[in-house]
């Protein structure tokens, strides 16, 4: 009985102990690409992005998962392709940027907008002092094909993109950006068919990507939607 009491006291002490402070030198980065415009998509048999928050909601879900698992003080950065949400907000007659800003305020994360691929790469390479602050997690939510992330797919041009990160540009990422245990995943369509391998070759870090299509959900992370779809590195 005395032993059981001691076990209970020890367990209670552990449950009351303050959580270990998050390591500020480990950064968790989420990249949210832009959504399409209904002017291009509404007449298609399978239109994209009926809901403007497709990629933003997925990012928010992931931020919440991080904080629930690892604590609220993580070094988290949300990178968002700004022009697409400006144009989509103009179409919807709503201020989507202020809604995205509410995620920053609610979860106390860093919000960084980018207008060009060069700006996004610049943040990954130099947005933090990379000799000290390493990327522990990098995840992409947005449109993609097997060779690139498409930040403005069907937003400026119907069914096409003017702003992207192609697999041939991955060499622009500096070596040594990532922690040894870094987790990298692209949640878009088809990335596992080519870009994942090129990412590994360029950075030395494996990236999980989809073979086949993915589908974005309202209240959970994207799922595989192709019959023979699978995640691969």
For residues 56-73, average pLDDT:
97
Q: Is position 3 within any domain?
A: no
State the CATH number of the domain containing residue 129.
3.40.50
Is the pLDDT assigned to residue 9 strictly greater than 90?
A: no
**Rounded to two decimals, what is the model's pTM?**
0.91
> Which structural domain range is residue 163 located in?
22-232
Q: Is position 10 within any domain?
A: no
Q: Strand runs (DSSP E) across 95-153, as ranges?
A: 110-114, 134-141, 143-144, 148-150
Is the pLDDT assigned to residue 15 strictly greater than 50?
A: no
Q: What integer pLDDT is reported at residue 20 of this predicted model?
A: 57
- Helix or strand or coil: residue 119? helix
Is 33:162 a contact under the CB 8 Å cutoff?
Answer: no
Q: Is position 4 within any domain?
A: no
Pairing outcome for strands 178-186 and 134-141: parallel
Q: What is the pLDDT of residues 166-208, one digit of tens each?
A: 999 999 999 999 999 999 999 999 999 999 999 999 999 999 9
Residue 117 tokens, joined: 């691929």
Total domains, the chain: 1
- Measure Cα distances from 211 to 34, 138, 186, 215 in Å: 21, 19, 11, 13
Is 195:167 a contact under the CB 8 Å cutoff?
Answer: yes
Q: List all residues 6 or more positions away from 138 whose beta carbon is below 8 Å from its beta carbon.
A: 29, 31, 124, 178, 182, 183, 184, 185
Q: What is the pLDDT of residues 135-163, one digit of tens each?
A: 999 999 999 999 999 999 999 999 999 99
Q: What integer pLDDT is reported at residue 4 of this predicted model?
A: 45
For residues 49-70, average pLDDT:
97
Q: How many CB atoms lie within 10 A of CB 139?
A: 21
Mean pLDDT of the chain: 92
Q: Is position 192 within any domain?
A: yes
3-state helix, strand, coil in the chain (%, to 5): 35, 25, 40
Q: Is position 56 within any domain?
A: yes
Q: What integer pLDDT is reported at residue 99 of this predicted model?
A: 97
Q: Is position 47 within any domain?
A: yes
Q: What integer pLDDT is reported at residue 43 of this predicted model?
A: 87
For residues 54-80, average pLDDT:
97
Q: How far apart are CA 12 and CA 28, in angstroms?
A: 31
Q: How far apart are CA 205 and CA 183, in angstroms?
A: 8
Q: Which of the residue ranges 12-21, 111-120, 198-207 would you say has the lowest mean pLDDT? A: 12-21
Is 130:174 a contact under the CB 8 Å cutoff?
Answer: yes
Q: Is position 205 within any domain?
A: yes
Q: Is position 15 within any domain?
A: no
């Amino acid at each position: 009985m005395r032993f059981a009491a001691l076990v209970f006291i020890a367990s209670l002490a552990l449950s009351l102990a303050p959580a270990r402070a998050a390591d500020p030198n480990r950064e968790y980065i989420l990249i949210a690409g832009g959504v399409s415009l209904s002017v291009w998509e509404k007449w298609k048999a399978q239109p994209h992005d009926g809901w403007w928050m497709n990629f933003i909601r997925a990012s928010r879900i992931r931020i919440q998962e991080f904080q629930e698992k690892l604590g609220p003080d993580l070094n988290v950065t949300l990178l968002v392709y700004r022009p697409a949400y400006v144009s989509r907000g103009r179409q919807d007659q709503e201020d989507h940027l202020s809604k995205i800003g509410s995620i920053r305020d609610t979860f106390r994360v860093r919000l960084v907008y980018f207008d060009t691929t060069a700006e996004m790469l610049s943040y990954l390479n130099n947005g933090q002092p990379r000799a000290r602050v390493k990327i522990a997690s990098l995840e992409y939510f947005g449109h993609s094909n097997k060779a690139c992330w498409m930040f403005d797919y069907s937003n400026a041009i119907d069914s096409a993109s003017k702003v992207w990160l192609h697999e041939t540009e991955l060499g622009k990422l500096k070596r040594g950006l990532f922690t040894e245990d870094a987790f990298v995943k692209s949640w878009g369509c088809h990335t596992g068919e080519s870009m994942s391998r090129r990412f590994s070759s360029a950075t030395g870090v494996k990236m999980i990507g989809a073979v086949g299509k993915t589908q974005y959900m309202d209240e959970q992370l994207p799922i595989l939607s192709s019959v023979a779809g699978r995640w691969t590195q």
